[in-house]
A = this chain, B = another copy of it.
Amino acid sequence: MTLTETTTDTARDDDTFLDSLCGRLRPGAVIVDPTALRTYECDGLTGFRVTPSAVVLADTTEEVRQAVLTCREFGVPYVARGAGTGLSGGALPTSDGIVISLQRMRAILEIDPRNLRAVVEPGVTNIDITKAAAPFGLHFAPDPSSQQVCTVGGNVAENSGGAHCLKYGFTVHHVLELEVVLADGSVVRLGGVNREQPGYDLLAAFVGSEGTLGIVTQVVVRLVRNPATVHTLCADFPSITAASEAVTRIIAAGIVPAAIEMMDALAIEASEAAVGAGYSLDTAAALIVENDGPAAESKVEFEAVEQICRDTGTTKIRIAKDSAERAMIWRGRKAAFAAVGRISPDYIVQDGVVPRTRLSEILSRIGEKAAESGLRVANVFHAGDGNLHPLVLYSEAEGQLEQAEELSREIAELCVEMSGSLSGEHGIGTDKACSMPRMFTESDLAAMWRLRRAFDPEELCNPGKLLPTPRLCGEKPGVYVPHALEVSGDIERF
């Protein structure tokens, strides 16, 4: 599955395209230097590298529009890119295509504390929105682990969640309005600041569309008031099953914590090696539970959570006594992905969802599959949502990449078999496009293709992502590829 292509050092016959592109943009906006292009050849997805033929460093909506119009004129594919932290290959270019980088569009245009919103450009990092809102006691709720570097444009593309999405929801719940450049170069505004908005809700369809419906050039986000109080605990459990039972009981009690995270022994070992947050090294699983809200409410709920942990057999409960200790507990959790590098030369981050009540079951199935393949899997996950992030550890030097990718893919498909989802928050990208037919019927996928074709009939906007195609997936049995749609003379090219 590893793909390495380079076209930049071969003679190009499309100089007219590049001339036209440079002619329409400010001097210096187009990168063609092969070494510089290397920066854009991959995102956070292991094993995929494709060098684009050029990169546009857009400064304005108009520059994005000019780049899109030029690509349309010459039939050149393009992909928008933020910080390149995505984990499913969504920001990978095609070898004959260009990258439109939005990282220079990082102005915070307005913070409006009275109406609880902010207007930002797509290249602003997630954390910078919260920093700008902090003086008003507000924050931007989505908090992916990469929030220090990932951009809000990427959050929109992937509908990012994070540890606190259990209570606060995903990016789609925190975006009020988008400015988007469509494939025909038109600039539209989707959604609106009123909660009640007539017309089709295209905003929700664009959030999470992985850059395949257009390029977001401005985002109006909702800001959330910082909670009056926050209570955080970290509880050790003698087994994954006991910890899972605690999660089930907390939810069944009608409590909605801000977050319920789980880590297994291997993930704890890695995190401790990197951060030293003080997690127990002799436990099978740890739960991090956080309750926030008005003082009266969060205290009562937090006490109930503590009692449930005791009832389900916790061996140790650590309660954060101040914000410094809470920050340390979270630092350990958020660093866990990267920390796995301390205990393994290479790893793949998988992302799947199962019904919360089947957490214990899937984790033992993952354990069995890992044992069969001889690889180790560390588990860090948003337990409250049933959103797993198994980390498949391997060594590329020892030739284990293919085996690791196979195990990782099996885990994702196992999630679907268990009435879950192929992806929680990392997206489908190139990584899982060919698995989509395991989750959706032919008609369901055809409905998605209709939307795609309506907005990008020439398929130049981030092609080969999200939806399966024969070029991408071949005609393998078990991999559904839609051949034709009954209705549509206008939707025939798959």
Q: A172-B201, A441-B189 are in contact. Are A387 and B196 (CB under 8 A)?
A: yes
Out of B159, B208, B300, B485, which one reaches A296, CB within 8 Å? B300
**Contact at B204–A487, with CB atoms within 8 Å?**
no
The SS class assigned to the A binding surface is: loop
* Most chain B CB neighbours (cut-off 10 Å) among A184, A425, A436: A184
Q: A205-B204, A466-B199 are in contact. Are A194 and B353 (CB under 8 A)?
A: yes
Out of B115, B199, B385, which one reaches A440, CB within 8 Å? B199
User: Closest 7 CB pairs between A and B?
Assistant: A204-B204, A454-B454, A184-B487, A296-B296, A490-B490, A297-B297, A450-B454
* Most chain B CB neighbours (cut-off 10 Å) among A198, A205, A447: A198
Q: A188-B444, A207-B201, A443-B186 are in contact. Are A196 and B424 (CB under 8 A)?
A: yes
Q: Which of A113-130 contact B (CB under 8 A)?
A: 114-115
Task: Flag whether A471 is at the interface (Cβ < 8 A).
Answer: no
Out of B183, B196, B293, B446, which one reaches A186, CB within 8 Å? B446
Give Cα distance in the complex from A306 to B286, angstroms: 43
**Contact at A444–B189, with CB atoms within 8 Å?**
yes
9 contacts between A and B (CB under 8 A): A186-B443, A186-B446, A189-B441, A196-B424, A196-B425, A200-B448, A200-B452, A201-B204, A457-B490
Task: Flag whether A161 is at the interface (Cβ < 8 A).
Answer: yes
Copies in the complex: 2
Task: Flag whether A225 is at the interface (Cβ < 8 A).
Answer: yes
Task: Flag whether A195 is at the interface (Cβ < 8 A).
Answer: yes
**Contact at A448–B294, with CB atoms within 8 Å?**
no
User: In the complex, what residue of chain B is closest to A356 when comparing beta carbons?
Assistant: B115
Contact partners of A339 in chain B: CB under 8 A: none
- Distance in angstroms from A100 CB to nearest chain B CB is 19
User: In the complex, what residue of chain B is closest to A420 when comparing beta carbons?
Assistant: B194
Task: Flag whether A369 is at the interface (Cβ < 8 A).
Answer: no
Out of B196, B385, B387, B423, which one reaches A198, CB within 8 Å? B423
Contact partners of A187 in chain B: CB under 8 A: 443
A329-359 contact mask (Cβ, 8 Å, vs B): 1 or 0 = 0000000000000000000000001010100
Q: A186-B443, A441-B189 are in contact. Are A199 and B161 (CB under 8 A)?
A: no
A207-242 contact mask (Cβ, 8 Å, vs B): 1 or 0 = 111000100000000000100000000000000000
Q: Chain A: interface residue count, which band?
A: 35 or more
Contact partners of A213 in chain B: CB under 8 A: 200
- Distance in angstroms from A322 CB to nearest chain B CB is 23
Contact partners of A317 in chain B: CB under 8 A: none
Mark A residues whose CB is within 8 Å of B: 114-115, 159, 161, 170, 172, 182-190, 192-205, 207-209, 213, 225, 252, 254, 293-294, 296-297, 300-301, 353, 355, 357, 385-387, 419-425, 427-428, 432, 436, 439-441, 443-448, 450-455, 457, 466-467, 485-491
Q: A186-B486, A444-B189 are in contact. Are A201 and B208 (CB under 8 A)?
A: yes
**Contact at A182–B447, with CB atoms within 8 Å?**
yes
* Most chain B CB neighbours (cut-off 10 Å) among A114, A419, A428, A454: A454
**Contact at B201–A443, with CB atoms within 8 Å?**
no
Give Cα distance in the complex from A393 to B194, angstroms: 27
Give Cα distance in the complex from A471 to B466, angstroms: 39
User: In the complex, what residue of chain B is closest to A88 when comparing beta carbons?
Assistant: B198
- Distance in angstroms from A412 CB to nearest chain B CB is 10
Give Cα distance in the complex from A453 to B491, angstroms: 11
Give Cα distance in the complex from A490 to B489, angstroms: 9
Contact partners of A297 in chain B: CB under 8 A: 293-294, 296-297
